[in-house]
Amino acid sequence: MNITPFDAPLGAKVSGLDLSLTLDEHSFSDLYAAWLEHSVLVIPDQSLTELALVEFSQRLGQLELPPASETRARGDGGASLPEIWTISNVKVDGVAIGGLGNFEADWHTDMSYLETPPIASVLYAREIPEVGANTSFADMYAALDSMPAGLRQRLSDIRVQHDSAYTSVGTLRDGATKVGDASEAVGAIHPAVRTHPETNRQALYMGRRLNASIQNMPMEQSEGLLDEIWSFCTQRQFVYEHVWQIGDLVMWDNRCTIHRRDAFDSEQRRIMWRTQVNAR
Ligand code: OGA
Ligand code: MN
């Protein structure tokens, strides 16, 4: 196995690995250590069955099942195992086979509105458009480390109210109620700075911008500070942008990264299989 860090603050490419075969304990622990070190791993040229993807993902932790809304239509390239989330714009009889459509997904970390958010997400490319739909990752250790002292000081004790109503592409989740402004958001509250339980490094943990607010701070002041933090932590210098190839498997650490996705042409097909991993 070869680990080649990208020319970016986070992310590395892993070659010499075939995830359709069961990794021995030694290789798995090398891979896991590289993942903790680089936060995002890209493992290209994989040819995986649904079961192989599930079995590999389960070694990272317990899998979170997709909500019913993500599995309304199966078939036409959508996954059929219950552990796999399909991320796709493809429709069968007018019903999407998966989530997120062809829309832009704004910067976020997955499901930060839960009390115990998932630690990892794994995305495996089955079909991709000719152009577009790149996925970018930003390093929340680096963002925190390089923050100007004044700003760093202002967020040392703050806690953020997260919003559970909207997806990363801004659509209302099934069963959720519309949120008029951030004061109406329903979701978990997390400190803005958290210590990663495995690396023991401090990372910025902001979730997403939409309908977020800082606890015990007047709304106007909260909006201003959140805008400042978000425009700082999403700067190019903290980002690795992934251009997909079919067969790429990308696994990211939700505790210390955020990600976004570009929109793409609705006439093109994109089908990704995804798993979401909870702490063991
Ligand atoms: C996700 C996500 C981005 C993409 O699956 O959580 O944000 O590139 N996906 O589809
Ligand atoms: Mn996401």
pLDDT band at 76 (very low <50, low <70, confident <90, very high): confident
Any ligand 1 atom below 6 A from CB of 105: yes
Q: Which of 54, 55, 62, 173 is nearest to 111 (CA)?
A: 173
Any ligand 1 atom below 6 A from CB of 270: no
Q: What is residue 67's predicted lDDT score, i.e. its pLDDT?
A: 83
Provide mean pLDDT across the span 233-250: 98
Q: What is residue 224's predicted lDDT score, i.e. its pLDDT?
A: 97
The yes-or-no verdict on residue 100 having pLDDT over 90 is: yes
The yes-or-no verdict on residue 70 having pLDDT over 80 is: no
Q: Which residues surround ligand 2, an ion (CB under 5 A)?
A: 110
Any ligand 1 atom below 6 A from CB of 208: no
Q: How many CB atoms lie within 10 A of CB 72?
A: 14
Ligand with smallest separation from the Cα of 257: 2
Q: Could you tell which of 274, 275, 276, 277 is best to mutate to test the pocket of ligand 1, judged by most ligand atoms within 8 Å of the CB? A: 274
Distance (angstroms) between ligand 2 centre and the Cα of 131 equals: 20
Provide mean pLDDT across the span 48-52: 97
Distance (angstroms) between ligand 1 centre and the Cα of 112 equals: 14
Atom 3 of ligand 1, residue of closest alpha carbon: 261
The yes-or-no verdict on residue 73 having pLDDT over 80 is: no
3-state secondary structure the chain: CEEEECCCCCCEEEECCCCCCCCCHHHHHHHHHHHHHHCEEEECCCCCCHHHHHHHHHCCCEECCCCHHHHCCCCCCCCCCCCCEEEECCEECCEECCEECCCCEEEECCCCCCCCCCCEEEEEEEECCCCCCCEEEEEHHHHHHCCCHHHHHHCCCCEEECCCCECCCCCECCCCCCCCCHHHCCCCEEECEEECCCCCCEEECCCECCCCEECCCCHHHHHHHHHHHHHHHCCHHHEEEECCCCCCEEEEECCCEEEEECCCCCCCCCEEEEEEEECC
pTM of the model: 0.97
Provide mean pLDDT across the span 167-177: 90
Provide mean pLDDT across the span 117-141: 98
Atom 9 of ligand 1, residue of closest alpha carbon: 261
Q: Could you tell which of 90, 121, 248 is best to mutate to test the pocket of ligand 1, judged by most ligand atoms within 8 Å of the CB? A: 121
Judge residue 85's burial from the number of C-beta atoms within 10 Å of its C-beta, 0-12 exposed, 13-18 middle, 19 or more buried. buried
Q: What is the CATH number of the domain that holds 266?
A: 3.60.130.10
The least confident of 45-49, 68-72, 113-117, 143-147 is: 68-72
* Both structure tokens of 243: 């251009």
Distance (angstroms) between ligand 1 centre and the Cα of 279 equals: 19
The yes-or-no verdict on residue 10 having pLDDT over 90 is: yes
Provide mean pLDDT across the span 264-271: 97
Which atom, in ligand 1's list, is nearest to the CA of 272? Answer: 10
Domain holding 227, by residue range, is 2-279
Q: Could you tell which of 249, 261, 262, 268 is best to mutate to test the pocket of ligand 1, judged by most ligand atoms within 8 Å of the CB? A: 261
Provide mean pLDDT across the span 22-50: 98
Number of domains in the chain: 1
The yes-or-no verdict on residue 125 having pLDDT over 80 is: yes
Any ligand 1 atom below 6 A from CB of 111: no
